[in-house]
């Protein structure tokens, strides 16, 4: 009997699907709901998908629908989805002192889209250890607010929120209106924003910054200059987008009484900043998204599409992808042979990958939007906001997710899955070297562009 062999890409995709299915079965059990009555399976599947894909869109309120058991299942799914199934399994193997074979190392390499197989064990250990430290610190800081307010339950809320924020999931068990009750709380805003940004920057940037810090002498602390090109792009674009987004949202919402119009200047600034940060695929809301002006909603859609940085917990097209694409476009406009960033030439392969990722994302968003509009009475802005949020695994919604019918829920489930695993599978496919290079290529012919 012929043995079925799966490619690394198929293993990664199937592992996410398997986790979703197991999670959906557990969430469909009566023990998972607060009233002891099993929720409809479609809602259990939706919740398992949004948790594993670290999206945050929910058809049922998390805080009032799920029991402690259900919340534990959701938290595990978020952690597994944020770190990746392959990372978790590798961590368990290392904990059991099992040696990693070549196939295991290939899975890790392709799951993180790394360029080398050297130091993979150390990389996984650092990812797991660093994640636990940051989530632990976040939980302790959250306890300063949630324990005095909720008592012992505040400990569980703090842990849940910290994991959800770092994994950019945007699911919370505090209230049905996300973090709107804490819109003016500086500690909640700062801690949540820090967790979201750290998770979204990516592990490669973490280790690169630490490497430079350790190697620099106290007299020479010019850290940025010695970072890799990847880290420079990720940090610069992330900071620029957050700042630009905050300024634009502050301007567009300044006089809006439904959001920040009635707040004092400091609260207006922190809410605008938080809205800009949470669109980086975090999904927490400190103001109702349906109350945003159309201009702010448009800004949020753009920020959601871009998302975080590669090899992290965030989704979206990624900061580095957009930077490469924009630089390539300007290089073409200026009739330059190649695009450059920070004094380094960007390879043609990187440009091709960036184009592929953007095309894939826009295709998923467009297809999902059309299907949602065809199966519901949603306005265009609500549908676009929802599908972009699902594709980029953000989780922000204009109070639309709960109104989805069965077809709409299935559409968003598939969109969230493709939005989470699509970039991974595409990166793996593009990262593979073509083993059979054709000696004879097709003839070239110029065509008109633009």
Is residue 432 pLDDT above 70, yes or no? no
Q: What is the pLDDT of residues 24-55, one digit of tens each?
A: 999 999 999 999 999 999 999 999 999 999 99
| pLDDT of 435 | 46
Is residue 113 pLDDT above 70, yes or no? no
Between these two residues, 56 and 432, which has the higher pLDDT value?
A: 56
Q: Which of 72-81, 130-139, 343-352, 387-396 has the lowest mean pLDDT?
A: 343-352
Q: Which of 82-91, 152-161, 268-277 has the lowest mean pLDDT?
A: 82-91
Q: What's the mean pLDDT in 278-285?
A: 90
Question: Rounded distance, CA 37 to CA 391, Å?
Answer: 31
Place 109 in a pLDDT band, splitting at 50, 70 and 90: low
Between these two residues, 283 and 73, which has the higher pLDDT value?
A: 73
Place 126 in a pLDDT band, splitting at 50, 70 and 90: confident
pTM of this prediction exceeds 0.75: yes
| pLDDT of 221 | 63
| pLDDT of 449 | 62
| pLDDT of 338 | 84
| pLDDT of 2 | 56
| pLDDT of 122 | 77
Is residue 437 pLDDT above 60, yes or no? no
| pLDDT of 446 | 63
Percentage of residues in the chain with pLDDT exceeding 90?
58
């Amino acid at each position: 009997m012929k043995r079925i062999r799966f490619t690394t890409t198929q293993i990664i995709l199937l592992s996410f699907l398997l986790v979703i299915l197991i999670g959906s079965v557990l969430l469909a059990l009566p023990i998972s709901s607060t009233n002891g009555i099993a929720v409809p399976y479609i809602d259990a599947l939706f919740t398992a998908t949004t948790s594993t894909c670290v999206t945050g869109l929910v058809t049922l309120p998390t805080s009032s629908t799920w029991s402690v058991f259900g919340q534990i299942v959701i938290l595990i799914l978020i952690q597994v989805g944020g770190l990746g199934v392959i990372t978790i399994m590798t961590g368990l193997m290392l904990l059991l002192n099992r040696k990693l074979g070549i196939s295991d190392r290939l899975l890790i390499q392709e799951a993180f889209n790394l360029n080398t197989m050297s130091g993979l064990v150390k990389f996984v250990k650092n990812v797991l250890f660093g994640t636990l430290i940051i989530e632990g610190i976040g939980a302790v800081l959250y306890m300063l607010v949630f324990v005095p307010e909720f008592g012992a339950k505040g400990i569980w809320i703090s842990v849940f929120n910290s994991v959800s924020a770092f994994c950019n999931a945007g699911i919370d068990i505090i209230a049905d209106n996300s973090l709107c009750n804490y819109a003016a709380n500086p500690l909640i805003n700062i801690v949540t924003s820090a967790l979201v940004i750290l998770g979204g920057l990516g592990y490669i940037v973490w280790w690169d910054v630490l490497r430079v810090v350790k190697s620099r002498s106290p007299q020479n602390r010019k850290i940025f200059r010695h970072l890799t090109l990847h880290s420079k792009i990720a940090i610069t674009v992330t900071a620029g987008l957050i700042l630009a987004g905050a300024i634009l949202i502050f301007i567009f919402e300044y006089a809006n009484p439904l959001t920040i119009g009635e707040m004092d200047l400091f609260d207006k600034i922190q809410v605008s900043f938080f809205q800009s940060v949470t669109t980086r695929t975090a999904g927490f809301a400190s103001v109702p998204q349906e109350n945003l002006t159309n201009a702010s909603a448009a800004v949020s859609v753009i920020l959601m599409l871009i998302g975080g940085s590669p090899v992290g917990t965030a989704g979206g097209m990624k900061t580095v992808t957009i930077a490469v694409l924009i630089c390539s476009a300007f290089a073409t406009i200026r009739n330059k042979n190649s695009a450059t960033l920070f004094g380094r030439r960007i390879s043609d392969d990187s440009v091709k990958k960036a184009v592929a990722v953007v095309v894939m994302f826009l295709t998923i968003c467009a297809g999902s939007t059309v299907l949602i509009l065809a199966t519901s009475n949603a306005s265009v802005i609500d549908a676009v906001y929802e599908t972009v949020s699902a594709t980029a695994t953000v989780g922000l919604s204009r109070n639309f997710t709960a109104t989805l019918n069965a077809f709409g829920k299935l559409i968003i489930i598939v969109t969230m899955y493709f939005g989470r695993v699509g970039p991974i599978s595409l990166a793996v496919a593009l990262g593979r070297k073509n083993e059979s290079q054709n000696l004879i290529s097709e003839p070239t012919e110029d065509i008109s562009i633009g």
